[in-house]
Each structure stands twice: as structure tokens, then as C-alpha cells.
């Protein structure tokens, strides 16, 4: 396969967290610095997508671009900065700073082995309830359900075609699935915690210390 490029998405406003969480300090570095380092070790080139007002700040990336109002728009902004000769593109959320270099390598290897996309995940172990107005309306069968993480790796042409539709999704694999792409799941990492609350920052400090 040809060159691998990575896009690290760090364009969120942090409204739910209370601040731009990707710029929080975590074991001596910013949250996004951890994600950049893991991505850089696994790819020939790196694009960082940031909030518009930070797009001109220097970063350890080959390109820094402004994101948009949604995650999918931000990913498309990053894809536009990836060279046309890239054959594998890895998308990673900066809010998952504990993703290991081994995990990046594993999803890339799965695409090189023939998948259209490779995503890490963990089997759901908790009982799932659908709740409406504080009342349980359904218990969902958890068999076959997985909780999905990033980094996610894709054949570049497949990912670009999926995003060309302008669709919106919570992760990029959804857009590939909708076009009939073959998406494989590899074992994720329990320590690959997504930073969504201050409590998560404490858990990530333990994972990275």
C-alpha cells in the first residue's frame, strides 16, 4: 500500500465539558499532544483540525486546518488537506489521548490486509435500557453490540467517496457502511478513554502516568 496519512480531529468547542477539552493539560502535555504523537508515529503525514480561531497557531502537524460546525464537516476539512497520493487515511479524535501506537498500527494493518475500514471496539458488557421521560421502555439485547473507538483506518478512496455525499455521522465508519463498504472490528483498548467530563481527565491521568 501507499502512504498513510492521519487526520486528528480537535475542532470541538467543548460546550458539554465546559471548555475546549482538547487543550486541557494532561500529564505535562495538552490532551491533543498525546493524540498527535501517536498519530505521527504511525503515519507519513499528519493533518490537525482545530477550531477556526486556532487555525493559525503553530502545531506539530504537516497541516493545520479550521474545522466546522459538525464532526463530519471537520473531518472533510481535514481530508481536503491530505495529499491525493495517500492510500490509507486514519481518523482519530483528539479527545482519545490514550490510544496507543500499537492500536494505530493494528487498524492500518487491517486495511492493508484488505478491509475498506478498520475500527477498534470493545464488546458491550452492561445491560442496555432505552429510557423515555425517566421510564424504561425497552431492554436492548446486547449480544453482538460493540462500543467503538478511534483511531479508525480507511482506504483513502473509500473514505473520500463516503464523505463526498455530505452525510453526517457520529463516526466515519457509518458513512462507509452506508455505501456497502467492508468494515472490520479489531480489539480496542479499555484504557482508550474518551475525554467527556473532568472525571475522565483523572482516569486518563492514571492511564498515562
pLDDT digits (tens, 9 = 90+) for 157-177: 999 999 999 999 989 999 999
Contacts of 139 by beta carbon, 8 Å cutoff, 6+ apart:
127, 128, 129, 130
Domains of the chain: total: 1
User: What stretches of the chain show up as alpha helix (H) in DSSP?
Assistant: 31-40, 71-80, 101-112, 156-163, 172-178, 198-208
Grid cell of 150 as nine digits: 478511534
Grid cell of 40 as nine digits: 505521527
Asked if pLDDT for residue 14 goes beyond 80, the answer is: no
Contact 90, 108 (CB under 8 A): yes
How far from 59 is each of 8, 22, 56, 86, 185, CA to CA, in Å? 12, 13, 9, 21, 31
Q: Identify the band that residue 1 occupies on the pLDDT scale cut at 50, 70 and 90.
A: low
Contact 182, 115 (CB under 8 A): yes
Nearest to residue 196, comparing CAs of 12, 55, 56? 12
Asked if the peptide bond before residue 170 counts as cis, ω within 30 degrees of 0, the response is: no
Residue percentage of the chain with pLDDT more than 90? 92
pLDDT digits (tens, 9 = 90+) for 24-82: 999 999 999 999 999 999 999 999 999 999 999 999 999 999 999 999 999 999 999 99
Classify residue 71 as exposed, middle or buried by CB count within 10 Å of its CB (0-12, 13-18, 19+). Answer: buried
pTM for the model: 0.94
CATH of residue 90: 3.90.550.10
What is the predicted pLDDT for the residue at 162?
96
Distance CA(50)–CA(46), nearest Å, equals 13
What is the predicted pLDDT for the residue at 125?
94
Place of cell 463516503: 162
Beta bridge partner(s), residue 129: 139
Residue 101 domain boundaries: 4-208
Amino acid at each position: 500500500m501507499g502512504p498513510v496519512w492521519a487526520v486528528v480531529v480537535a475542532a470541538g468547542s467543548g460546550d458539554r465539558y465546559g471548555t475546549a477539552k482538547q487543550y486541557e493539560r494532561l500529564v505535562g502535555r495538552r490532551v491533543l499532544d498525546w493524540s498527535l504523537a501517536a498519530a505521527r508515529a504511525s503515519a507519513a503525514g499528519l493533518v490537525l483540525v482545530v477550531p477556526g480561531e486556532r487555525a493559525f497557531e503553530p502545531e506539530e502537524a504537516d497541516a493545520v486546518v479550521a474545522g466546522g460546525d459538525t464532526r463530519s464537516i471537520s473531518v472533510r476539512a481535514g481530508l481536503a488537506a491530505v495529499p491525493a497520493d495517500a492510500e490509507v487515511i486514519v481518523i482519530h479524535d483528539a479527545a482519545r489521548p490514550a490510544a496507543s501506537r500499537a492500536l494505530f498500527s493494528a487498524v492500518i494493518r487491517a486495511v492493508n490486509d484488505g478491509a475498506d475500514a478498520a475500527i477498534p471496539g470493545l464488546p458491550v458488557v452492561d445491560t442496555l435500557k432505552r429510557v423515555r421521560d425517566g421510564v424504561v421502555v425497552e431492554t436492548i439485547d446486547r449480544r453482538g453490540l460493540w462500543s467503538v473507538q478511534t483511531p479508525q483506518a480507511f482506504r483513502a478512496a473509500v473514505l473520500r467517496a463516503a464523505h463526498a455525499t455530505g452525510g453526517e455521522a457520529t463516526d466515519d465508519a457509518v458513512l462507509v457502511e452506508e455505501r456497502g463498504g467492508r468494515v472490520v472490528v479489531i480489539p480496542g483498548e479499555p484504557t482508550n478513554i474518551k475525554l467527556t467530563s473532568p472525571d475522565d481527565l483523572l482516569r486518563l491521568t492514571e492511564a498515562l502516568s
